[in-house]
Amino acid sequence: MTIRPIVITGDPVLHSRASEVTAFDQELRSLVADMFETMDAAPGVGLAAPQVGVPLRVFVYDYDDDEGNPRRGVVINPTLQLGPISQEAPDEDTEVEGCLSFPGERFPLKRAENVVLTGLDLDQKPVRFEADGWFARIFQHEFDHLDGLLYVDRLAEPYKSEAKEQIAEIGWGKPGFSWLPGRDDLEG
């Protein structure tokens, strides 16, 4: 297994729709093993394949759900059904999100409280989750990655402008930026 570099906002792979997985082969297994190792090293609670530069509809997650049950797995070719999203302003303490492809920053964002996620595992066996709270948020965040969306693309003002300023200040927003968990000292 290998820790792979995580690409940063501006790279086209993060801003394009990823393709369905059609080959459930050894290459896919290696990718998923590397994604788990990369997520753990980051550390993060989720990682989508485009974040390691691979435009496929795959993500991994590792999170204890709101009932305290440890959840760790991979979902391939997912579908996501969203519950209602409140139109209220997001809470700046409890609804703050971060992204390994926008490292070092966190912004508040409203998400659906409940989702239903379906997809396949590595053996092409169907999986289905009814998730709520943070577990639901992680699924929405990772699913967005597969459609070429970062959570910062969904921010409301004033956070949207703050994120844009941040990108301009650091010089991101164009291809070629990445960081390597375990070597580069970044958080996100």
Binding site for Zn ion (CB under 5 A): 99
Q: Which helix (H) or strand (E) holds 62?
A: strand 58-64
Active site residue 142: yes
Closest CA relative to residue 132, chosen from 151, 116, 154, 119: 116
Q: Which of 20, 27, 142, 157 is flagged as catalytic?
A: 142
- In the complex, the smallest distance separating the C-beta of residue 115 from Zn ion, rounded to whole angstroms, is 16
Cβ-based nearer residue to Zn ion, 129 or 143: 143
Which residue sits closest to Zn ion, CB atoms considered? 99
Question: What token pair was written down for 133?
Answer: 């709270």
- In the complex, the smallest distance separating the C-beta of residue 125 from Zn ion, rounded to whole angstroms, is 26
Q: How many whole angstroms separate alpha carbon 114 and alpha carbon 93?
A: 20
Cβ-based nearer residue to Zn ion, 102 or 129: 102
Strands 58-64 and 70-82: antiparallel
Cβ-based nearer residue to Zn ion, 8 or 99: 99
Q: Which helix (H) or strand (E) holds 29?
A: helix 26-41
Report the chain's C-alpha Rg in angstroms: 16
- In the complex, the smallest distance separating the C-beta of residue 141 from Zn ion, rounded to whole angstroms, is 5
The residues assigned a catalytic role are: 142
